[in-house]
Structure 1
Amino acid sequence: MLVFNLSKAAAEFFTVTRKGEKISCIEPAPHKTIAESIKTPFFPKDIEAQKNNDFQWQWVVHCVSVKRQKYLLVMDYHSRYCLTFPAGKKGDQYEFFNLVEKHLKSTFRYIAHEKMINTVEVDSCVDVYNSLVNTCAFYQRGDRSVQAHINEVVWHLERLCFEDGMIKENIDCLRFNLFTGQIPRRIKGNKDYLFPNQEYLSYWLKAFSAENRVPFINNDNIIDFSQYVKKC
């Protein structure tokens, strides 16, 4: 199950008013902090946790407007890898879920290719992901550390949009996400910097594969991004 923790701006995006009534997919958070939910996973009553091995993946979601275009920024709590893409229809959680999964898989395939991981193993990881993830939950709560890193991505997004033009296509989003993912980040309590691209791939290999590998990311090669976007 993917868990989307929404900032105030993101919560407003996922709330619509129809006939004077507010409609939202947001549920009461089971714990005050994301860290507590990781330590003690909670599943909605209609979810049989055993069917997905009690798997949860925590994300923090933010929404910003750049030159009248709304963007959603979805950052992995673990790796701090950020998915950035134009927002779809306001309040449409199903479109959002599909977009997130599309970017999740295309990113993994691309970074795995950079690592020269066998395509059979890559496909196997995606299959395991598909078997574990079939639903999501939305809560309004945040994390100050993750939000600070999201704000850094927003700065790069605004700079790119004003200087080079808006990012709209999936390929452009993938390029931007990989760019911000190679920027080292610091988490309180960790003495070393983490590199989101590397941590993201490592998470996939550990969570969705029996093999435990430590990836090394080489971002110098120029590759046709379109093959990764179209495959997902």
Structure 2
Amino acid sequence: MLVFNCTKAAADFFTLKRNGKKISPLEAPPTDSVSGSEVANVLNAPTVPISAWLVHEVNVQRKKVLIAMHVETRYAMVFVGIQKGDWLEFTNQLLERLFNNMQFFGEEFEMCDEESFEEMFNEFIKLHPKPYFCQRGDRSVQSHINDVAWQFEDRAYQIGSLPDGHEECASFDEWINSLIRSTKQKKDYFHPDEEMFLDWMQTYSELGDNEDKLIRQLFGSLRRQMMHAEMVKRGIPDDGYFDEMNDLLNQAINKYNEEVTPDKLNEVTPDNVIDFNQAKKRKLH
């Protein structure tokens, strides 16, 4: 069951008035709460996984921007340029981007290919044949959406414009979902992109023994690669630089020790000799 819980701002965005009549996709909430798993107000509803989202609308640079956040994982997506009342286009864009992002991680980690992802796609459609739109909110999720909205507005201000098209919005999604978050339900900090991919694989595929741990390790490796690439881009020396410098220093010290008398080997190292291991530790802290 795919549930889009809408704040009042989002509910107003999806509602149109034509000939004095309201046209809206909103209906009675199909579950007992935003984060609940108990089905309500749906006749003969089968027991299926619930993919619940909170949708909010904000104004940025005099344009309406929709922000959707997955309740369980806090995975967020932003949408610019959707016409007021066009809930179908919103749904299509969200699903298209979600599928693309999950397929990217699956192929990056060599956990799925075109054929196996097609099976997951079909499973998703089978479990969520239609979206449900309803009006209600959640304070915890809303606080994270507010942070996403602030980050989005700040980035738009720095760049000077809103994202232009699907790909630029997806680029912001990629960045915002790599940031750590926390909730009362989870003991530790977490990354929304990592949690969403795990949720996706557990719900629409079959994870083998310890594959969840493997996925977390793969995400950790991917983040280190991205951090290294960013450091290179900014011209910041990484750990390899300090390791190389430390090796060169040790070689120089060893060569020096081979040339001095044994008595001098027992002397205390002077204070002005740089220990690159310590320098590296200070830099990291």
TM-score range, shorter chain: 0.7 to 0.9
Partner residue in 2 for 1:153: 148
Q: Partners in 2 of 1:179 and 1:86 — Cα distance?
A: 17
Partner residue in 1 for 2:61: 67
Partner residue in 2 for 1:139: 134
**Do the aligned partners of 1:15 and 1:24 also contact (CA within 8 Å) in 2?**
yes
1:84-139 deviations in Å (ceiling 9; x for gaps):
11141211221121111111101111222332323143333222212222201111
**Could you say which structure has the larger radius of gyration?**
2
Q: Which runs of 5+ in 1 are unaligned?
A: 223-232
**Do the aligned partners of 1:32 and 1:141 also contact (CA within 8 Å) in 2?**
no
Instruction: Report sequence identity in percent.
Output: 31
1:216-231 equivalence runs, <5 A: 216=216, 217=219, 218-219=222-223, 220-221=225-226
Q: Partners in 1 of 2:133 and 2:63 — Cα distance?
A: 23
Q: Partners in 2 of 1:43 and 1:135 — Cα distance?
A: 15
Partner residue in 1 for 2:158: 163
Out of 93, 103, 106, the position equivalent to 2:97 is 103
Q: Secondary structure at the match of 1:58?
A: strand
Q: Partners in 2 of 1:44 and 1:121 — Cα distance?
A: 32
Read off the aligned partner of 1:41 and give its amino acid letter. V
Q: Partners in 2 of 1:130 and 1:22 — Cα distance?
A: 29
Rate the CA distance shift 1:155–1:3 in 2: closer, same or farther, 3 A: same
Q: Secondary structure at the match of 2:110?
A: coil
Q: Secondary structure at the match of 2:148?
A: helix
Q: Partners in 2 of 1:23 and 1:206 — Cα distance?
A: 37
Q: Partners in 1 of 2:73 and 2:185 — Cα distance?
A: 15
Partner residue in 2 for 1:226: none
Q: Partners in 2 of 1:205 and 1:139 — Cα distance?
A: 27
Q: Secondary structure at the match of 1:34?
A: coil
Q: Partners in 2 of 1:31 and 1:129 — Cα distance?
A: 19
2:92 pairs with 1:92: no
Q: How many residues align?
A: 216
- The worse-fitting range, judged by mean Cα deviation, of 26-35 and 142-151 is 26-35
Out of 169, 173, 197, the position equivalent to 1:173 is 169
Partner residue in 2 for 1:197: 193
1:112-131 equivalence runs, <5 A: 112-119=106-113, 120-131=115-126
**Do the aligned partners of 1:59 and 1:74 also contact (CA within 8 Å) in 2?**
yes
Rate the CA distance shift 1:113–1:31 in 2: closer, same or farther, 3 A: closer
Rate the CA distance shift 1:56–1:15 in 2: closer, same or farther, 3 A: same
2:183 pairs with 1:187: yes
Rate the CA distance shift 1:42–1:115 in 2: closer, same or farther, 3 A: farther
**Do the aligned partners of 1:41 and 1:54 also contact (CA within 8 Å) in 2?**
no
Rate the CA distance shift 1:206–1:32 in 2: closer, same or farther, 3 A: closer
Partner residue in 1 for 2:40: 42
Coordinate RMSD, CA, aligned: 2.0
Q: Which runs of 5+ in 2 are unaligned?
A: 230-285
TM-score, normalisation: structure 2: 0.70
Partner residue in 1 for 2:279: none
1:151-172 deviations in Å (ceiling 9; x for gaps):
1111111011111131122111
Question: What's the CA shift for 1:34?
Answer: 1.6
TM-score, normalisation: structure 1: 0.85
Question: What's the CA shift for 1:191?
Answer: 2.1
Question: What's the CA shift for 1:42?
Answer: 3.1
Q: Partners in 2 of 1:118 and 1:30 — Cα distance?
A: 32
Which has more helix, going by share of residues? 2
